[in-house]
Amino acid sequence: MDMRLPQQDLSARYDKVRRRSLALAEPLTDEDCGAQSMPDASPIKWHLAHTTWFFETFILERMEAGFKPFHPAFRVLFNSYYNGIGEKHPRAQRGLLTRPAMAQVRAYRADVDARITRLLAGDLDAEQRAQLAMLVTLGLEHEQQHQELMLTDVKHLLAQSALLPEYMAVPLARAKAPPPMAWLPFAGGLTDIGHQGSGFCFDNELPRHKQYVAPFELASRLVTNGEYLEFIAAGGYFNAALWLAEGWDWVRSQNLNCPIYWQQDEQGQWLEFTLHGAQALDLARPVTHLSLFEADAYAHWAGARLPTEAEWEFAAAQAAVETGTLHPAGAAGTDGLLQMFGHCWQWTSSSYAAYPGYQSAPGALGEYNGKFMMNQYVLRGSSCATPDGHARASYRNFFPAGARWQFTGVRLARLAP
């Protein structure tokens, strides 16, 4: 991760981000917070504890005088994947941690919050202060990543129930009909890719480096549910010629015929399970929860392909320059290039790999990103579940090709004619 100091008041930001995690758990019972619907997902309680463990382990343990852990067993229970820290509770059994109870995890959060706040307000030399600021910032960005996972994990959990419970009581608003999809041309060329500027970024966005991008075209918006339904109607899930070999094995061995949260009722109407409960499929919304296999097959069927991550970043950067915003934020894209952020993470055809000259941090923090650079694919943009201000044009999200429980969609690309 980048080590530069943020400009804002860290203590206030700390407070705000940490409170938001608790707020995300508000609509849920303690029972909801303890369950784990699959090994890829984690219980809400575990997210709340693990993000706290991150601050305790990487800040308090290093910088607090007379440090004592809140509870010695938590070092193991809430370690996600840091071998450099030591033992870990088995990932697939996080749902069995009925103890500590939610109340204890809330107490854990309060205790660590008080100690971090004290540390931030304390007497530190400039170097310590800089290091603290860097680590707190990293911890908050880390917590924001888990905030998105809390939403996707709880959606997956609630979807297992025959009661199809709502996370949010208000219905999801119907989307307005999107403008027709247009092909926007980009000249490409020898370009700089990767994070620039003094703001925070993760280590995997660096170093900024040169890449040659051939001229290409990018779709002006995301593929919609309605468009994806045409792919289904055309037999897309049963046509081997559209799929990668591994995708075809994947789709047939699981006997899939639609996205994970879609189902047809007895009258043939398509319903989609959402955080607002089951609703009639909204044809105008971007299709989401697609695996890379499905995204790639759709693109193939549509006579196009997925963009590379360099193409995506090139387009986003150019659009940002044209509109004067370096980090396009919120649900809007830029003129002509819509839905770049805030709707769905967008699959690219790029395998998640180190940029030339990539350096991971020393010690256990070096495990944050680097060790996952194999058999994962990069997603760009951000989703409706991404916290405000978290993503940016150089941000590299990544998941294995079969992952479907994230808010993942498709923006088409093609070579310039």
Binding to its own copies, residues 285-304 (CB under 8 A): 292, 296
Looking from the CA of 234 toward its CB, the CA atoms found within 13 Å total: 16
Q: Which long-range contacts (CB under 8 A, 24 or more apart) does 115-118 make?
A: 115/60, 115/64, 116/14, 116/55, 116/59, 116/60, 117/11, 117/14, 117/15
Q: Which is nearer to its own copies, 64 or 367 (CB)?
A: 367
Cis peptide before 207 (omega within 30 of 0): yes
Q: Which is nearer to its own copies, 254 or 375 (CB)?
A: 375
Site size for its own copies (CB under 8 A): 64
Binding letters toward its own copies, positions 151-190, x by CB under 8 A? ------xx-xxxx-x------------------------x
65 binds its own copies, rule: CB under 8 A: no
Radius of gyration of the chain (CA): 22
Stretch binding its own copies (CB under 8 A), from 47-55, 267-275, 351-359, 381-389? 351-359
Task: Count Cβ atoms below 10 Å from residue 107 Cβ, excluding itself.
Answer: 14
Q: Which is nearer to its own copies, 341 or 347 (CB)?
A: 347
Q: How far is CA 291 from the centre of its chain?
A: 14
Amino acid at residue number 3 = M
Q: Which is nearer to its own copies, 160 or 257 (CB)?
A: 160
Beta-ladder partners of 217: 185, 414
Stretch binding its own copies (CB under 8 A), from 18-26, 139-147, 225-233, 365-373? 365-373
Q: Which is nearer to its own copies, 98 or 269 (CB)?
A: 98
Cis peptide before 185 (omega within 30 of 0): no
Shortest separation between residue 284's beta carbon and its own copies, angstroms: 30
CA geometry: angle 123, 19, 93, nearest 5 deg: 105
Rounded Cα distance between 255 and 265, Å, is 18
Binding to its own copies, residues 226-245 (CB under 8 A): 240-241, 243-245
Q: Which residues contact 59 (CB under 8 A, 6 or more apart)?
A: 116, 119, 132, 135, 136, 139
Q: Which is nearer to its own copies, 86 or 179 (CB)?
A: 86
Q: Which is nearer to its own copies, 66 or 212 (CB)?
A: 212
102 binds its own copies, rule: CB under 8 A: yes
Binding letters toward its own copies, positions 116-155, x by CB under 8 A? ----------------------------------------
Amino acid at residue number 236 = G
Q: What are phi and psi of 380, to 5 degrees?
A: -120, 160
348 binds its own copies, rule: CB under 8 A: no
Site residues (vs its own copies, CB under 8 A):
29-35, 37, 45, 73, 76-77, 81, 83-84, 89, 93, 95-102, 157-158, 160-163, 165, 190, 209-212, 214, 240-241, 243-248, 292, 296, 305, 349-351, 353-354, 356-357, 367, 371-375, 401, 415
